[in-house]
Amino acid sequence: MTTFLQQVVNGLSLGSIYAVFAIGCTLIFGVLNIVNLAQGAFFMVGAYLGLEIALLGLPLPLALLVALVGGGVLGMASELLVFRVLRLRGGHKWMGLVASLALARLLVGVAQEVFGTAVHGYPPNPFTAIVWEIGGVRVQLLQVIVVITAVILMGILGFTLQKTSVGRAIRTVAFSEDVARIVGVEVGRTILITFFIAGALAGAAGVLLGLLFNVVSPFMGEHMLVKGLTVMILGGLGNIPGAVAGGFLLGLVEVFSVAYVSSAFRDAIGFGLIFLILLVKPTGLFSGFEERRA
């Protein structure tokens, strides 16, 4: 029972990061029907930006903020330099995938050049030291902070999408670009904002993961991208509540399969799950009670 609860704690903290990252991917898909494969690179850049700020001795909330803005700016750049150009030139959807991957490659190359290929860790902070033992279950303060930060980010996003005019514009464009134009939404600007939000979430997820596992490397983005795509499928493409639930689900499944089956099959179980879902319920696990997109 203790092992079980311990895995729940570990799974939730990992899953919250997956959720934050995957929301960005699924938001872009919901609005534009494309997959931005550069999201993983934004995640990596976010982790490095946060690391640099933390190494300067500045407080961690500032690191998170810088990573948010940095990731968001990169997201906007990818829209302005790649996706918008492709849309204007009438390029095929495939080109977007190839281009976003080329962009990711570029960023990984730049990160290697600037920061080197070695694995870095965040400087020691007081949060890792504080550990509570509740009935035999170890809970790090850091884990609690990661989960709370993730939930706050998701809360801000949910509020923005549901209650603000920017959010309404995003949801209208997701419903139909033509309808959005008819009712006077500035489609180009709204798409730009969507890319900013998605990039910002990826950057923030980078800092959170870097803190939780204390590992930052130029190649961490590719791994995360795979997780993000997995969560997207679990939750249904473009389905934000689905991505939240799917992120936590994937975190729990991975942690539990390490604890109870074998660490070797952690990934196999996740991907087996995707395959099963695509065959049985391709619109995602949670499409039954949430049909709306973005």
Find the shortest distance in angstroms from Cβ 249 to another protein.
Answer: 15
Q: Which of 5, 6, 77, 112 binds another protein (CB under 8 A)?
A: 112
Q: Which of 123, 265, 288, 291 binds another protein (CB under 8 A)?
A: 265
Stretch that binds another protein, among 10-18, 42-50, 109-117, 195-203 (CB under 8 A): 109-117
Applying the rule CB under 8 A, the residues between 230 and 259 that interact with another protein are: 230, 232-233, 237
**CA 53 – CA 72 distance, rounded (Å):** 17
Task: Tell me the number of residues near another protein by CB under 8 A.
Answer: 49
- 157: amino acid identity, one letter: L
Find the shortest distance in angstroms from Cβ 132 to another protein.
Answer: 35
Q: Which of 8, 77, 95, 144 binds another protein (CB under 8 A)?
A: 95
Note whether 226 and 22 are within 8 A (CB).
no
110 binds another protein (CB under 8 A): yes
**CA 172 – CA 175 distance, rounded (Å):** 5
Closest CA to 34 of 101, 88, 91, 83: 83
Burial class (CB in 10 A: 0-12, 13-18, 19+), 151: middle
290 binds another protein (CB under 8 A): no
229 binds another protein (CB under 8 A): yes
**CA 260 – CA 237 distance, rounded (Å):** 30
Backbone angles phi, psi at 80, to 5 degrees: -70, -40
Find the shortest distance in angstroms from Cβ 169 to another protein.
Answer: 24
First and final C-alpha spacing in the chain: 38
Map residue 33 onto helix, strand or coil: coil
Let me know how long the chain is.
Answer: 294
101 binds another protein (CB under 8 A): yes
Q: Which of 94, 118, 124, 126 binds another protein (CB under 8 A)?
A: 94
**CA 230 – CA 108 distance, rounded (Å):** 22
**CA 39 – CA 80 distance, rounded (Å):** 15
**Residue 99 or 197 with smaller CB distance to another protein:** 99
Q: Which of 55, 59, 268, 292 binds another protein (CB under 8 A)?
A: 268
**Residue 105 or 138 with smaller CB distance to another protein:** 105
**Residue 100 or 194 with smaller CB distance to another protein:** 100
177 binds another protein (CB under 8 A): no
Closest CA to 214 of 132, 285, 125: 125
Note whether 51 and 122 are within 8 A (CB).
yes
Binding site for another protein (CB under 8 A): 29, 33, 35, 37, 81-82, 85-86, 89-95, 97-99, 101-110, 112-113, 222, 225-226, 229-230, 232-233, 237, 264-265, 267-268, 271-272, 274-275, 278-279, 282
